[in-house]
Each structure stands twice: as C-alpha cells, then as structure tokens.
Amino acid sequence: MPDLPNNEAGRPAAAGVGSRATLAGLVAGVVAVKLAILALVGPSVSQDTPFYIIYADAILDGSAFAPLAWTAASVSGLVFRTAGYPLVLAAAKFVAPNFWAPLAIIVQIALGIIVLILVFRVAARLVRSTGWALTAALVFACSRALLWDNSLMSDGVYADLFNIVILSLLGDLLGCWRLSASKLAGLGVLWGYSLWTRDNGLYFTFLPLLLLLAGSLRGGFDWRRLGRPIGFVVIVAAMVGGYSLLNLHRTGEAFFSLTGLQNYLRPLFDMRAYGYADPFTGDDLVSRTVRETMTANDYPAQMQFIAVLGERCHCTPTQLQSMAVAKFVAEATRHPVAYLRVIIRNFNYFDLASDLTDPINTFNDFVQEGTPIAARIIPGLSIRHLALVGNYSLGMIALMIAAGITKATSAVAFTVFIFGIPWLWLRRWRRGAMGAELWAAGFLWLTFVSVAGAFSLIHFEARHALPVFAAAQIDIVYMLVQIVGWRRGHGRLPQVKIEVKP
C-alpha cells in the first residue's frame, strides 16, 4: 500500500482547529443523547441477559472457576458462554453493587465513543473532508450501535473492541498516527479479550493480521517489522490458550468454546423448516433423535433436542459438538443447493441495508427491543401495513412515506457499497492508479463481507454484523464522495485536505 504524504518530520500534519471542534461537538452531543436514553429507559435487557448475570455472580463468589459437572446432557452455562462480558458485569457489581447495571452501560457508552472518534478520524483521512467524516460518524452513531450500547449483552462490547483494534491499525497504516510497540501490545490484549467476549472473533483474527502484515511491507519489506504481527499473534494465542486451560481445570478437557454445539445444526434445521431438503433421513444418531423427538424447528425445540441427544450419546460436550459439526458438513455437502438457499436467505439484503443507514429502522428497533413498549412505532410503507395501522391521520401517513423513503435510500446506498467498491477497485487496478485510500476502502469492504458472509453460512442476526457496521458506513460515505466528484466532472476525491494529528 502506498504511503500518504507526511510533513517534513515524517509524521502526519496536525488537524485543523475546525476538525477538532467538530469532533468535540459530535462527541458531546452523542454522549448527552446516550446518557439521556439511559436515564429515561434504563439498561435494556434481552432473554440472554439473566445468563450473563448468573455468570457474573458466579465469578464474584468463585464458583465459576471451580470444577463443574461435565456431561453432554447438561452443559453448564458457565462453560457454554465465555467469561468476557460476565467479567465486565462482575467488575461493575464489585465497584457499585447498587448501581452496577447503569455503570456497565456507561462503560459500554465510553467504548462506543472511542469507536466514534476512530470512525471520524479514519474517515477524515480516507475522504479528506471534515464534513463527510462527520456524516460517517453520524451514520454510525444513529445505527443499531445505539441499541446495543444500552443493552446488557455482550454484542456491544465485542463490537467496540473489534472496531478499536481494526480502526486503530488501519489509522496507523493510513498515517493518521503511529502505534508504538506498547500500543500494539495493548491492541493484542484487546483483541484477545474480545475473543473472551464473543468466541467467533477467533475466525476473524486474519483481519488485524492483514493490516499488520501490510504495515510490515510499507516502504519495502523489512524482517524486523515482522515482530509486529508475530507479537500480536503471541498475545492473542496466549489469551486463547489461557482460557482453554481454565476450561481444562473446570472440565478436564482443554477447549476454547462450545458455541458450535448449538449453532452448527441450525442451517440443517432451516433447510427442514423452509422445505428446501430434509437432512435428517439417515440412520445416524442425530437424524434418529430428530425424527423421534422434534415436532417443531424453532430454537427452544432445538435446545431440547440437544439435551436429548446428549443423554443418548453418552459422550462429553466436546464430543457432542464434534458430532454436530460432522453432521453439518456431511449434510451441507449432500444438499448443496438447499444449503446455498439457506445462505442467501440468511444474508437478508434489504434488512441489512436498513440496519446500516436507516434512522427510522434504528428507532423502531430500539423501541421494540430496548424499551418496555416492545413494538415498532413507525410502520413501513406497504399495503399490509396500511391495512394493519388503522390510523390514517396525515401525520401517520407522512411517517409511513418517510419510512419508505429511508428504506429505499438505504437499499441504494448499500448496493453502491457492495458492488461499487470492488468495481472501483478493479477499475483503478487496471489503470495502475491505486491509492492508499482505495486500498483502505477495499480492506473495509473485505472486513464487512467476511463477517456478514461467515455468519450467513450458519445463522445470521443483525447483531452479528454489529462489529462491521462502521466499516460499511465509512465505505458508503467514501463511495458517496466518489459519486459527488464524478458529478462535478473530476472523477476523483474532492481535494479538501484534512490532516489528522497523531
């Protein structure tokens, strides 16, 4: 990747006063809004929140670290879930026993603000415009990140740690700042802790490694620079290994995670539920148990099935997980077309587009999932919604039209991002006109597609893509800047240069 111009001292030039003032105003406004939401509705909870609280209490009383019963028929929640987020709740309970839930949310808001600052500064370097960088930061602040910052769930913390590491490394590569060895080590610790929070992040460790390897190639290959990616890997491996040793102490088996036990069979149940194929017609134990015990394909029925399967197999949970993975691979191979249909269905194109850039969708989701109202307030523009609303006031019709416009606009913006970045990348590549900004935009595109695509292979919910919302939103703004440039007849980025202080 080519270097961006630096000043005479070899460091990026300082940011202008206007840029710093814009960022300060943005941060102050977002903090005020998020604290106001916390004060009005309190911490949001979901059906998984009690399990994290139980784990946190077990950490405080020490039982989380003691040997546990180890049978496939009854997998302890202290093993199934990793300890990263319960440790956050346990620390909040230890510091403020009567205020622990709001304190945990305040910590999450603080992490979100760090990400917001990084989004602004990386976007400012990428598009070289304070106004467009502010747009990217506002889109991020108004997306589903708003919901999960206020929720007692692991998703928000994991997403924030993911983004802090990725955007910090990308900013280093773009010349926004220079990361010292100690800061790189700190990022390694943050990434390792993010894996304690959501174990699936282990599969995405190649993303920060790509950035570190690209940094090693900057200005020509130098063996000494390989210490950066190697040191990062050593720190992350140590944290994964340390958690595996904890599980060895508690269960007698060394492993990092058991989430595959519940997740790898979900595509097969989806095939069955949607009528694409029936992957449970064989004589194997999994298929026989499904046919004999399951009368529904929903998640509670799947959990009950796993408990029964555990009783029948007389194996350990890790062996049961291996059985589930083997069944998934075998049936996905045997029914490739049905599996492909599940993948396409999981990648819900228009809903994902709305999650990224539709403020009305964000508002509806927050009210439905994060408040006692638990319902969508603003209906979409459709014949079905017109029939269900029953309120044909001018104001309601106006809101429905606005919802239709924002949904359509989000779909267009998402399409420009998904197809525009690779098209622009190939176009510039053929011309030999690749720049640092386009390399960075391509990496952000790869980050989004990798995470969203990986979850689509198994099971995809909007919260699963939360770590890569920022990547997509920065790239959407990047493409908008390109389009504005072309319409003005330049065919290039507007030359409003914003240098960012290291």
Provide the pLDDT for residue 255.
Answer: 94
- Spatial separation of the C-alpha atoms in residues 377 and 374, rounded to whole Å: 9
Could you identify the residue written with the tokens 């029925």? 301
Q: Using an 8 Å Cβ cutoff, are 41 and 370 in contact? A: yes
Ranges in the chain, pLDDT < 70: 1-18, 73-74, 219-222, 382-392, 487, 489-502
- Spatial separation of the C-alpha atoms in residues 443 and 243, rounded to whole Å: 30
Its pTM stands at 0.91
Each domain of the chain, given as residue ranges in start order, spans 18-257, 267-346
DSSP 271-323: HHHHTS-----SSSHHHHHHHHH-S--SHHHHHHHHHHHHHHHT--HHHHHHH
Residues 6 or more apart whose Cβ sits within 8 Å of residue 178: 11, 172, 502
- Spatial separation of the C-alpha atoms in residues 133 and 141, rounded to whole Å: 12
Q: Using an 8 Å Cβ cutoff, are 315 and 424 in contact? A: no
**For the stretch 387-413, what's the b/e string if a residue is b when 16 or more beta carbons lie within 10 angstroms of its beta carbon?**
eeeeeeeeeeeebbeebbebbeebbeb
State the SS3 of 221-256.
Answer: CCHHHHHHHHHHHHHHHHHHHHHHHHHHHHHCCCCC
Residues 6 or more apart whose Cβ sits within 8 Å of residue 226: 216
Provide the pLDDT for residue 445.
Answer: 98
- Spatial separation of the C-alpha atoms in residues 72 and 258, rounded to whole Å: 11
The amino acid that residue 452 corresponds to is A
Could you identify the residue written with the tokens 């990062």? 232
- Spatial separation of the C-alpha atoms in residues 320 and 303, rounded to whole Å: 13
User: Per residue in 178-233, pLDDT tens?
Assistant: 999 999 999 999 999 999 999 999 999 999 999 999 988 776 666 777 888 999 99
> How many C-beta atoms lie closer than 10 Å to residue 202's C-beta?
15
Q: What is the dihedral of CA 71, 74, 76, 77, to 10 degrees?
A: 150
State the SS3 of 29-75.
Answer: HHHHHHHHHHHHHCCECCCCHHHHHHHHHHHHHCHHHCCCCCECCEC
Provide the pLDDT for residue 144.
Answer: 78
Residues 6 or more apart whose Cβ sits within 8 Å of residue 7: 13, 499
Provide the pLDDT for residue 487.
Answer: 67
**For the stretch 288-314, what's the b/e string if a residue is b when 16 or more beta carbons lie within 10 angstroms of its beta carbon?**
ebbeeebeebeeeebeebbeebbeebe
- Spatial separation of the C-alpha atoms in residues 484 and 415, rounded to whole Å: 17
**For the stretch 343-370, what's the b/e string if a residue is b when 16 or more beta carbons lie within 10 angstroms of its beta carbon?**
beebbeeeebbbbbbbbbbbbbbbbebb
